[in-house]
Amino acid sequence: MRAIKGILFDKDGTLLDYDESWLPVNRELARIASNDDPDLADRLLLACGMDPVTGHIVPDSLLAAGNTRQIADGLVAAGSPIDVVALTVQLDELFSNAAEFSVPVTDLAGFFARLHARGFRLGVASSDNERSIRQTALRFGFAEFVDYVAGYDSGFGTKPEPGMVLGFCEATGLHPSEVAVVGDNNHDLHMGRNAGAGLSVAVLTGTGSRESLAAASDYCLNDITELEGLLPDLQLA
């Protein structure tokens, strides 16, 4: 851990509380995809990993870990009558607007400022679109501390491929072994492993559990604030 110089965070379920931020969005997603057919909406939610009654999300399901195009593909395969390209556009718009209603797991401006002051290079890599990530960073006041942003549409590939981590390394001049990847599902952790990241850290503010995340993580934390005590300070020039 003494070699860790950069931290690449997932967004949803990691920086943002998944249930508080995304369960209402998922219900709206199903309404859109079903053309306002409530029975079909429930079937679509089930097919993509959410119990329409309890709101429980299956770990590593489409709604837990998929990008917008993958979710749209899954909705169409499960019976949505909307063209997948048109549905992807509608969902990207929905997800971008959802940044205005999302709930952070902590004071993100203060959290990122403290890590930045300790010398860490910081980035966000999400299966959401890049616009949503940047809007989230602006809304919660940590954009100035972020060195790198990557969404599924940013050209670095998708999780669990290694491209987003390697893009972070290129942007910061770090080696993958100097990077900690932090996320709430196995797509995040496997992305880190595939890139050769030095540390894979799971958090429990999303859709994963200690059981589902144990095999792929070096540490499993209750939330990102515990990361501050886990990583030693860098030697600042």
pTM of the entire predicted model: 0.91
- Sign of the four-CA dihedral 79, 82, 83, 88: negative
Split at pLDDT 50, 70, 90, the class of 104 is: very high
pLDDT, average across residues 57-61: 94
Confidence at residue 1, expressed as pLDDT on a 0 to 100 scale: 58
Quick one: average pLDDT of 181-204? Answer: 97
Q: Is the pLDDT of residue 237 over 50?
A: no
Per-residue model confidence (pLDDT) at position 100 = 85
The average pLDDT across 10-32 equals 96
Q: How far is residue 202 from each of residues 40, 59, 95, 212, 216, measured CA to CA in Å?
A: 34, 13, 23, 10, 8
The residue-averaged pLDDT of 49-57 equals: 96
Residues of the chain with CATH 3.40.50.1000: 6-17+103-230
Determine the average pLDDT of the residues in 19-26.
94
Is a pLDDT exceeding 90 seen at residue 131? Answer: yes
pLDDT number for residue 111 = 98
| 2, pLDDT greater than 70 | no
Query: In this model, does residue 235 exceed pLDDT 70?
Result: no
Mean per-residue pLDDT, 51-65: 95
Q: Beta 219-221 vs 199-203: how paired, if at all?
A: parallel
Q: Average pLDDT for residues 10-30, to the nearest whole number?
A: 96
* pLDDT one-digit tens code per residue, 69-84: 999 999 999 999 999 9
Average pLDDT estimate for 141-170? 98
Whether residue 232 has pLDDT greater than 90:
no
pLDDT above 90: percentage of residues in the chain: 94
pLDDT at 129 over 90: yes
Among the four given CATH numbers 3.10.28.10, 3.30.1180.20, 3.40.50.1000, 3.90.950.20, the one describing domain 6-17+103-230: 3.40.50.1000
> What's the mean per-residue pLDDT of the chain?
95
What's the average model confidence in pLDDT over 202-213? 96
